[in-house]
Amino acid sequence: MGIRFDLFILSIALLSAPCLSDLVLSKVDRRDDMTGIASVDLTSQIVRITSTLKVENLGTDPVSEVLLPFPEHQAKNLAYLAATINEGKGKAKSSAASLPIEVAHPKEMPPGLIWYSVSLPKGLGKGERLTLDVLAVFTHALRPFPEKISQAENQFVVFQDSAYYLSPYAVKVQSLSVKLPSDPKLESYTKIENTVVSGSEIKYGPYENRPPFSYSSIIVHFENNQPFAVAQELVREIEISHWGNVQVTEHYNLIHGGAQSMGEFSRLDYQARPHVRGASAFRHLVAKLPPRAHSVYYRDEIGNISTSHLWVDSKKTQLEIEPRYPIFGGWKTSFTIGYGLPLKDFLFQTEGKRFLNFSFGCPINDLVIDNLILKVVLPEGSRDILVSVPFPVKQWHETKFSHLDMVGRPVVVLEKMNVVQEHNQHFQVYYKFNNLSLLREPLMLISGFFFLFVACIVYMHADLTISKSSASYVAKLQWDEVQTAIQQVQNIINRCLTIHDRLEASLRDLSRTGDVQACKATRKAADSSLKELSKELKPLVAFLHSSPQAAQILPKVEELVVKERELQEKLMSKHSTVVDIYEKKTGGREIENRVALIQQKLTALRQEVEDQLEAID
């Protein structure tokens, strides 16, 4: 084949295996015959190795830990390691709690190994036995070979491990099964003694009585067109609102981590036969969101992506994500999904504290996450924050500001490299929160709105009085003007009447003194005065004509003016007649009768004018 693999050779180890303890692995099965699940699972891009170890203490001292070594090249890809006690076939495995595991540095061990130590719940005494289930999950452990393929080619990958279980303890009986994707195209595999291929499985063993650190490299080269979706970075933001919502926003930076795509990409070819012309590409990803998720969206920097589907039932909400183009090896895409969740499903109270209980990992299955940054944004005013995560993570605090925030919201940031589905475990963020703080923002809003409304009312009120009064004020002003005009008219009429009186008086004087000249002078003065008054009257009457508010009173005023004019004319004719009588000394009954007639009319008119004045008043 002409390829070189980093073969791991433990020749030194085999020569100088130290006597670590009196433990012996009486049986190692990396094959689960009962359930039929292969113990080295290569069906996806993630390698899962489950091992069942029957541990037996042949020594006299109790043993409290079991050591698990991994070759360095494997250990750097180790994403998850868990060990549980297998209580026997009857018990469900999931009920067993994981045992504590720590990185260990045992002395005088062969080089090139990374060690983990599993602490047993109680020491294993002389002759006692125990069965451990160990799950190790590796990412980036399947190497594409060839490393570059064209659009139409299938993707082949290489996996490397040991046919013998690598252990510091002697292994009495062991076997291994490698499970490949269904209907496997097996390019090559390492054949040693007791190797059988059956269906999509390669079985190694059983092998008996292998000494500590036995190692026999096996290489499997096979077709694997599973979606090699790798999130180089995933930022999940979980924002708690005590008003009933948990808002989750997830930013993905995805790459196809499989064989690099080379040559031109032909969409035409791809669309015509996507399974043949793009077998190694991935089109869909499925995110399993919690039940009752709402306001789900999926977008990238261009905008919303409509080619996604949402299925909702009582157990889960499933979002099928379809990027804008198929993702081939080495291609990248980034997008954001977001959704809201009911607060009561995730926020609980205990001993005066609140706590968020939320899943750590990402909702997309079989996604490898190189770097996961998880931010929990707590409500403003939260304090005494405590985080509980079931595995080691980097952790720090930040502050986030959004609208109405005064001091900012505390943000707990958790960072973890190399995250897989097994990390979808619950973590808790405990914090204290004063309920009064909850009221701060609404109070701010309420007082804000209150002042706004007060301001509005004041403004509206002011505006109303101005506009209302401006209408009524103008009307009032106009009415005042009308009244003033009417008063002036009355005034003028009264002054006319006074002049009439003066003329009458001059006539009486005339009859007593016979001084015609004096009477004429009075008449002349009266004429000019009346003329003046008549001039003054004209604009007032014109104004009353133009003013709508004077409409009602106008006829009476006009009648008054007409009557006064009539009265004036009659008075003048009487005056002239009487003066004539005295001048020409004609006298006589006829004239006296004429004057008496005029006098009657004058008296009547005078009465009418005075009545009219009173009516107008």
Ligand X SMILES: *[C@@H]1O[C@H](CO)[C@@H](O)[C@H](O)[C@H]1NC(C)=O
3-class secondary structure, 214: coil
Of 182, 416, 136, 149, which is closest to residue 256 (Cα–Cα)?
149
Residue 98 binding ligand X, by CB under 6 A: no
Select 36 or 291, whichever has its Cβ closest to ligand X. Answer: 291
C-beta atoms surrounding 55 within 10 Å = 22
Query: Which CB atom, from 352 or from 555, has the smaller least distance to ligand X?
Result: 352
| Min CB(442)–ligand X separation in Å | 24
| Number of helical (H) and strand (E) elements in the chain, helices listed first | 8, 31
d(CA 82, CA 97): 10
Comparing CB distances to ligand X, the nearer of 202 and 321 is 321
Write out the binding residues for ligand X, residues 478-517 only, by CB under 6 A.
none
Out of 304, 314, 349, 546, name the contact with ligand X by CB under 6 A: 304
How many chain residues bind ligand X (CB under 6 A)?
6
Distance between CA atoms of residues 512 and 144, nearest Å: 148
Q: Report the residue number, 178 or 387, with the smaller CB distance to ligand X.
A: 387
Per-residue buried b or exposed e for 400-438, using 16+ beta carbons within 10 Å of the residue's own CB: eeeeeeeeebbbbbbebebbbbbbeeebebbbebeeeee
Please state the closest distance from residue 303 (CB atom) to ligand X, in A.
Answer: 5
C-beta of residue 225 within 8 angstroms of C-beta of residue 155: yes
Residue 8 or 297 having the CB closest to ligand X: 297
All residues at 6 or more sequence positions from 5 whose CB lies less than 8 Å from its CB, including other chains = 158, 160, 217, 219
Query: Binding of ligand X at residue 582 (CB under 6 A)?
Result: no
Residue 121, classed as helix, strand or coil, is: strand
Of the two residues 428 and 577, which places its CB atom closer to ligand X in the complex?
428
SS3 annotation, 515-528: CHHHHHHHHHHHHH
DSSP 555: H
| Residues 15-34 as x/- pattern, contact with ligand X by CB under 6 A | --------------------
Tokens of 418: 């190399």
Residue 294 lies near ligand X (rule: CB under 6 A)? no
Nearest approach, Cβ of residue 426 and ligand X (Å):
4
Residue range at the interface with ligand X (CB under 6 A); choices 224-232, 280-288, 296-304, 399-407 = 296-304
HEC sequence for 319-349: EEECCCCCECCCCEEEEEEEEEEEHHHCEEE
What does the alpha-carbon distance between residue 556 and residue 564 come to, in Å, rounded to a whole number? 12
Q: Is 306 in the site for ligand X (CB under 6 A)?
A: no
- 428 near ligand X (CB under 6 A): yes
Single out the residue of 8, 115, 145, 297 in contact with ligand X (rule: CB under 6 A). 297
Q: How far is the CB of 310 from ligand X (least distance, A)?
A: 10
Distance of closest approach, residue 60 Cβ to ligand X, in angstroms: 41
Name which position in 394, 426, 531, 535 contacts ligand X (CB under 6 A). Answer: 426
Output the furthest CA–CA distance in the chain (Å, rounded).
178
Q: Name which of 211 and 291 has its Cβ closer to ligand X.
A: 291
Candidates 297-305, 318-326, 565-573, 588-596; binding stretch for ligand X (CB under 6 A): 297-305
CB of 388 to ligand X, least distance (A): 8
State how far the Cα of 118 lies from the Cα of 97, in Å rounded to an integer: 13
Output 219 or 296, the one with its CB closest to ligand X. Answer: 296
Write out the DSSP string of 260-314.
EEES---HHHHHH-HHHHTTT-B--EEEEEPTT-EEEEEE-SS-B----EEEE-S
Rounded to a whole number of angstroms, the minimum distance from the CB of residue 315 to ligand X is 13
> Using CB under 6 A as the criterion, what x/- string covers residues 329-368 for binding ligand X?
----------------------------x-----------
CB of 298 to ligand X, least distance (A): 8
Nearer to ligand X by Cβ, of 297 and 331: the residue is 297
Tokens for 350?
Answer: 């205990």
- Regarding 303 and contact with ligand X (CB under 6 A), the answer is yes
Minimum distance between the CB of residue 83 and ligand X, rounded to whole angstroms? 20
CB of 304 to ligand X, least distance (A): 4
Chain-centroid distance of CA 352 in Å reads 29
Considering the complex, state which of residue 371 and residue 428 has its C-beta at the smaller distance from ligand X: 428
For the purposes of burial, counting CB atoms within 10 Å of the CB of 472, is it exposed (0-12), middle (13-18) or buried (19 or more)?
exposed
Q: Phi, psi (5° rounding) for residue 307?
A: -80, 55
Cβ nearer to ligand X, comparing 68 with 319: 319
By CB under 6 A, name the binding residues for ligand X: 297, 303-304, 357, 426, 428
